[in-house]
Amino acid sequence: MMVDVKLETILSKVQKPGRYIGNEWNCCLKEHDQVSLRMVLAFPDLYEVGMSNQGVKILYDSVNKDQDLLMERVFAPAVDMEEQLRLAGYPLFALESGKPLRAFDLIGFSLQYELSYTNVINMLDLAGIPLYSDQRSRDYPLIIGGGPCCFNPEPLAPFFDLFLLGESEEALPRLLKAVITHNQRGLAKQNILIELSNLKGVYVPSFYSPEYYSGSFSGLQKLEKQAPGSVEKNYVADLDSAPYPTAPLVPYIQTAHDRAVIEIFRGCSRGCRFCQAGYIFKPVRRRSAAKIAETARDLIASTGYDELSLSSLSSSDYPAIDELIKKVDEALIGKGVRCSLPSLRLDSYSVNLAENLHQGRRSSLTFAPEAATERLRKVIGKRISEAQIYRTLNDAVTAGWNGFKLYFMIGLPTEEERDVEAIAELCRELRRHFKRQGRPGIRFSVSVANFVPKAHSPFQWESQLRMPALISRQQLLIERFKKMPWVEFSWHDVETSFLEAVFARGDRRLAPLLEKAWQLGCRFDGWSENFSYSRWQQAFKELSIDPENYANHKFSYDDPLPWEHLNCGVEKELLICEHRLAFNGQFEKDVRNN
Amino acid sequence: MRLLQRALRRSGLPLAYSQGYNPRLRLVLALPLPLGVTAGREFGELYLTEIVDLDYFVSSLSAQLPAGLRLVGASAVAAESPSLASLVVANRYRARLKLSEGKLVKPALIESAAIKLMAKEEILMPRSGKKKKHISCTNVRPYIFELQLNLDQGADPVLVMLLKAGSDGGVSPFFLLHKLAECEPDSGSETWQWLVERESLYMISNGALVPLAEGV
Ligand code: SF4
């Protein structure tokens, strides 16, 4: 984009101006008057985070492929940039053309994380756009949302004109085309929304009104008779024919994941009971090895990256992955590219795979047992036995690794203190075990997250463990690990997890709260340097909302849930069944077989 | 560097890689830029696996370079000729004094600082040895081959420095600018901010210092 004098002055006063000027390799520049519809993809977090998101790159490609459509990008301005923009009265602008957001027909927010919600509000405000849907006439851009948080977008509902549920690389261009048609017919905003609500995956929140009975959500009333009673998600039926960017944007400034990415399959068949992703991305679909190899070749040729990540939720679950790696290797031979395979399952097979990929390199290997006792793993649906953990790490150590990164969660349903203690115990036992085997000095990096109950997972009815209890369990681990200097221990902030739980199962009464928190200065709540819990506490107090009623609330099966009208394709009966099995400590049969 | 590596990979040229796991492009820049210095013109060496036509090389790579980066020229050398890095003996920096808004610096002040700096017989630069505790000092005064101050009316003051470089010792332009400010204490000189650009690298040719572009 071209930088005018005013913007240049602004940029000279901020850190990392490279975040705001676009012009990346493979960036798509189109004239605004040469297309019928202009959209901005808005990512409510920093450039470095947004540009590491594969969804951004996929949508950018799938929309811009269409001659008649244009998609530009905007990311949340960092705190220093916001200050300068406000000082100069300069409206938030899109990276490609530098045009203010208001000059677009549609703004689509990518909703990946609950703690970016205040950034959404802030970006609307910086763009000079009224926050609430009912305050915006047709002259303003349509404000739409997509991404995993749309499976319970209720806390954001009044700010948005519509949400697009599920995978959008095929559905979004379809939606945009429909907007063009209805615009040309000169329909009023309300009528455009009615028409759009007939499209699969479109959820227009203003067509539904929530009801509350003695302080609890008691159901949703449909206000617009043409709107569907239940909104069904979109998903891509065949990954091989779905659009995938072979010439993705290559940023100039370093981003979180700065490499070429090819998604080898989507969805996950493991069905861990705390995991929302496992349920909302069903069914499991895979890209063929031939297609992956072909895409890998194109990706490297167009980007010049030296690393290729074969990504998915659980990469070792790709059938015949050895074959796949062989094919990809062949396609990239002599190009100096190394492959990486994230999200490995805890088994010997995976160690083998990692070994093939990392020939010779011996850094650390990452696994996620999530819970340290077999009992608790059964509850949460992680199918790994103690013996399997030992066998896997044994294999890895034999193959030459001497460090492991292990992910756990605390605050899980039925968890007791001894389950938490077992995390430290497991590390100690493993270390001892390897010492006996003549391999002393094995190191661990242990990361412990706090359980957050998520909508559409079997644990959606569960409550989050209360904050003081979570803190004392963290404290217990801190104490234990103090005596184990060979463990690098890290943990998640409890207050952040608490807010995440509030919004993950929140309802529309939280919308004014978000606005209030934003007014009080909340931004980038997912970043510890910006997060201020006291501001949130003040917001809750001023609006007389008790956040514990959300985070620590246990729903019963009969309770209406604020997100139940949004259908991710998994029957409630299945979730109930899984939830019941959890407490019997049984596994469901692998959903792959269904 | 990252930009250049990616551009090279996109170019489709027959690039040579180092052996082993984690293959690296065989690309070496003549002398890495000190942190905070912008580059005027840089030199590098690249190995290819086969001989390619120079025009083809220039056009293939140029097509992949982002705006702001331009390939000035290329020449082929025998693989066994001495490395660029071993040829470089000096580099020239251009430091522009950034005048922060409203604040004026008297040119005479900079001038007198420069004279005082050059009049010194010794300018000691601390250098931490292998063991952290052991700090030795090097006299870097002889490393200043030339220092020239341009005080044009209406333009920011500019200091051009020709400094020794190479594996047997060199000095950072920022260190000297810091020393320069120290020559005029209590004058506000500690707030001077310089934008430093490296203009060119120098080698010895027929006993004289010549810019790398002419010598190679
Ligand atoms: S393996 Fe479990 S936690 Fe991981 S994506 Fe699949 S269901 Fe979720």
- Contact between A61 and A7 under an 8 Å Cβ cutoff? The reply is no
Residue where a domain stops, chosen among B63, B87, B111: B87
Report residue B211 as tokens.
């810019």
Rg (CA), chain A: 24
Total domains present in chain B: 2
Say how many C-beta atoms besides its own lie within 10 A of residue A203's C-beta: 27
β-pair partners for B120 = none
* Contact state of B21 with A335 under an 8 Å Cβ cutoff: no
- Contact between A110 and A55 under an 8 Å Cβ cutoff? The reply is yes
Same domain, B53 and B105: no
* Contact state of B15 with A303 under an 8 Å Cβ cutoff: no
Same domain, B65 and B127: no
A5-227 is a CATH 3.40.50.280 domain = yes
Report residue B199 as tokens.
């203009």
Q: How confident is the model at residue B134, as a pLDDT? A: 65
Residue where a domain stops, chosen among B26, B52, B87: B87
Report residue A576 as tokens.
């109930």
Q: How confident is the model at residue A593, as a pLDDT? A: 39
At a CB cut-off of 8 Å and minimum separation 6, what does B155 contact? none
- Contact between A113 and A154 under an 8 Å Cβ cutoff? The reply is no
Q: How confident is the model at residue A223, as a pLDDT? A: 96
> What domain range includes position B99?
88-215
Ranges of beta strands (E only) in A198-355 are: 202-203, 208-213, 216-222, 231-232, 260-263, 265-266, 285-286, 307-311, 338-340
Same domain, B67 and B94: no
Atom of ligand 1 nearest to the CA of A343: 4
* Contact state of A306 with B9 under an 8 Å Cβ cutoff: yes
Q: How far apart are CA A515 and CA A543, in angstroms?
A: 11
- Contact between A77 and A126 under an 8 Å Cβ cutoff? The reply is yes
Report residue B139 as tokens.
């006299």
Same domain, B119 and B66: no
Report the chain B residue with the minimal C-alpha distance to residue A260.
B6
Out of B20, B24, B67, whose CB is closest to A360? B20
User: pLDDT digit string (tens) for B50-81?
Assistant: 999 999 999 999 999 988 788 988 988 888 88
The Cα of A303 is separated from the nearest Cα of chain B by a number of Å equal to 6
pLDDT beyond 70 at B133 = no
Report residue A199 as tokens.
């499209």
Report the chain A residue with the minimal C-alpha distance to residue B49.
A334
CA-closest candidate to residue A522, choices A7, A120, A94: A120
Instruction: Indicate the burial class of A450 (C-beta count within 10 angstroms; 0-12, 13-18, 19 or more).
Output: buried
Peptide bond into A319 cis (omega under 30): no
Q: How far apart are CA A550 and CA A562, in angstroms?
A: 11
Same domain, B204 and B107: yes
Atom of ligand 1 nearest to the CA of A345: 1
Same domain, B92 and B194: yes
Q: How confident is the model at residue B33, as a pLDDT? A: 77
| Residue B98 confidence class, pLDDT cut points 50, 70, 90 | confident
Same domain, B206 and B163: yes
Same domain, B120 and B200: yes
Question: So what's the ipTM on this one?
Answer: 0.78
Q: How confident is the model at residue A106, as a pLDDT? A: 98
Average pLDDT estimate for B144-162: 88
Q: How far apart are CA A145 and CA A163, in angstroms?
A: 5
At a CB cut-off of 8 Å and minimum separation 6, what does A29 contact? A96, A97
What is the CB < 6 Å shell around ligand 1? A 268, 270-272, 275, 277-278, 313-314
Torsion, Cα of B53, B59, B65, B70 (10° steps): 90
Same domain, B134 and B81: no
**Cα-to-centroid distance, A270 and ligand 1 (Å):** 6
Q: How confident is the model at residue A299, as a pLDDT? A: 95
CA-closest candidate to residue A460, choices A207, A261, A276, A200: A276
Q: How confident is the model at residue A594, as a pLDDT? A: 38
The CATH number assigned to the domain holding B166 equals: 3.30.70
Out of A25, A336, A361, whose CB is closest to B17? A336
Say how many C-beta atoms besides its own lie within 10 A of residue A422's C-beta: 19
Same domain, B82 and B96: no
Same domain, B44 and B79: yes
pLDDT beyond 60 at B132 = no
Q: Which helix (H) or strand (E) holds A136?
A: none
Same domain, B32 and B97: no
Residue where a domain stops, chosen among B87, B111, B140: B87
At a CB cut-off of 8 Å and minimum separation 6, what does A64 contact? A28, A30, A70, A71
For chain B, give percent helix, strand, coil, nearest 5: 25, 30, 45
Q: What is the pLDDT along chain A (594 residues), one digit of tens a residue?
A: 888 888 988 998 898 899 999 989 999 999 999 999 999 999 999 999 999 999 999 999 999 999 999 999 999 999 999 999 999 999 999 999 999 999 999 999 999 999 999 999 999 999 999 999 999 999 999 999 999 999 999 999 999 999 999 999 999 999 999 999 999 999 999 999 999 999 999 999 999 999 999 999 999 999 999 999 999 999 999 999 999 999 999 998 888 888 999 999 999 988 899 999 999 999 999 999 999 999 999 999 999 998 899 999 888 888 888 889 889 988 988 888 888 887 777 777 777 777 777 554 556 788 999 999 999 999 999 988 999 999 999 888 888 888 899 999 999 999 999 999 999 999 999 999 999 999 998 999 999 999 999 999 999 999 999 999 999 999 999 999 999 999 999 999 999 999 999 999 999 999 999 999 999 999 999 999 999 999 999 999 999 999 999 999 999 999 999 999 999 999 999 999 999 999 886 665 544 433
